[in-house]
Amino acid sequence: MKWSELVDRSILQFGTNPHNKAIARKFLEEAEKDLAYYSKCYSKDQSIIINNKKNSVDLPKDFLEFKSAIQFNNQILEGFRNQIGRLDSSGNAVEGTPRYYFIQNNELILVPSPSVDGVVNFTYLAEPKSASSSTYHKMNYKKLDNGFFQKGTQIKGKDSQATGVVYNDENDLKQGVLTLSNIVNGSLVLSAVSPITTNLTSITLVGTGSKSGLVPASGQIILTWGSSSIDTISYSGYSVSGDNFNFNDVNGINGTIPPGATATYTSSFKQNEEIRTIDDAYNLAIADETIASINTNWDEYGLSARAVASSSVFEWTDADRYEPQIPTPYHIYLVDYAKSCVAENIKEFELADRFMRRYYENRELVRQQVSGQGSGSGQMVVADIVFRNEL
């Protein structure tokens, strides 16, 4: 069911004013988290690429607890209870094939530390978080390297310079689908620092050299100046030296283009470009190292996920973005929780207690059903009460 349908059911007897709709939506989201946590009805699969330079990975931010065994490659790991030493006599992590795991500060730590690259797989119980009213986009990716794209972190396109915030990452080993919010297109402004005249066959414009991926290998430069002057120049290639963009085989210059004329390039994420996690570790590395050095030593620096975009971005308009994340059969049970909270908000305490008792009863039956213990043991009660004396 859509959130809008659940909201309508929750406030029908209390009045359909905007205030009631707003608070009912918040109460429904609270109910979804409560039901998921109590009944363990919402789970997700996770694959994490881990390299031999690192023995720990961050758990997903919506992680509650493991639902399945944890595997490193094809081996099931046991909980670590000091079966072997973690450190050698020099204080370094013992290396080998991981056999154990433990959790510390929301990190999954493998023992021994991996001596080869591998994949960690598990299923976990997750905390649902509904999509907001913001615009979301999806993008396919391949060749995932190192970890996974953590919810809430920023990613950046190597060529497009576009950025976005990860709302969700669905991956299957080295490929997957990212759902992104707050996408900001990359932008580059090139400026003329000297007059451009008709006799020139090459020209130099100044911009930001690190953003050269925004400029096509060949094509057109659209230069503007003053309030309305514009000229379109074609070129067959260019090179970059520092922040100088040197365009070759230029033609189409009409008259003299003055210093200060500018050309602007913008782009969203591009297919086949590298996408990178931009977090504290990356920002620390980029402060002292070149992009080339970071690319070569990505694992040694302990940086997070990177991959190659295998599609352009496209808007997420599927029906599921407007629905709770818990399984569809349980959506209706959120309504009693919201009704109870709305009733309490208007000091109808007896009515609030009745709705909450019914929610608790159904919540317990969901838990039994999910755990496999409740088959045929009871019947869930769902009713939309319009008048108080019908309850």
pLDDT in tens, 207-222: 999 899 999 999 999 9
Structure tokens, 347:
């000091």
pLDDT at 388 over 80: no
Give pLDDT, residue 34.
Answer: 97
Determine the Cα angle at 354 with ends 351 and 359, to 5°.
125
pLDDT at 98 over 70: yes
Of the pLDDT bands very low, low, confident and very high (cuts 50, 70, 90), residue 247 is very high
pLDDT at 186 over 90: yes
Of the pLDDT bands very low, low, confident and very high (cuts 50, 70, 90), residue 241 is very high
Residue/partner pairs of 242-245 with CB below 8 Å, 24 or more apart: 242/209, 243/206, 243/207, 243/208, 243/209, 244/204, 244/205, 244/206, 244/209, 245/190, 245/204, 245/205, 245/206, 245/207, 245/209, 245/212, 245/215
The proportion of the chain whose per-residue pLDDT surpasses 70, expressed as a percent, equals 95
Give pLDDT, residue 386.
Answer: 41
Of the pLDDT bands very low, low, confident and very high (cuts 50, 70, 90), residue 66 is very high
Q: Averaged over 30-40, what is the pLDDT? A: 96
pLDDT at 387 over 70: no
**The dihedral formed by the CA atoms of 318, 320, 321 and 324, expressed in degrees to the nearest 10:** 170
Give pLDDT, residue 263.
Answer: 96
Contact assessment for residue 177 and residue 135, using Cβ atoms and an 8 Å cutoff: no
Of the pLDDT bands very low, low, confident and very high (cuts 50, 70, 90), residue 337 is very high
CA–CA gap between residue 10 and residue 25 (Å, rounded): 9
Of 169, 170, 181, give the one whose Cα is nearest residue 133: 181
Any idea what DSSP says for residue 112?
Answer: S
Q: Averaged over 235-239, what is the pLDDT? A: 96
Segments in 12-104 forming alpha helices (H): 18-39
CA–CA gap between residue 16 and residue 24 (Å, rounded): 10
Contact assessment for residue 368 and residue 359, using Cβ atoms and an 8 Å cutoff: no
Q: Averaged over 176-185, what is the pLDDT? A: 95
Q: Using CB atoms within 10 A of its CB, is residue 376 exposed (0-12), middle (13-18) or buried (19+)?
A: exposed
pLDDT at 281 over 90: no
Of 319, 336, 321, give the one whose Cα is nearest residue 24: 336
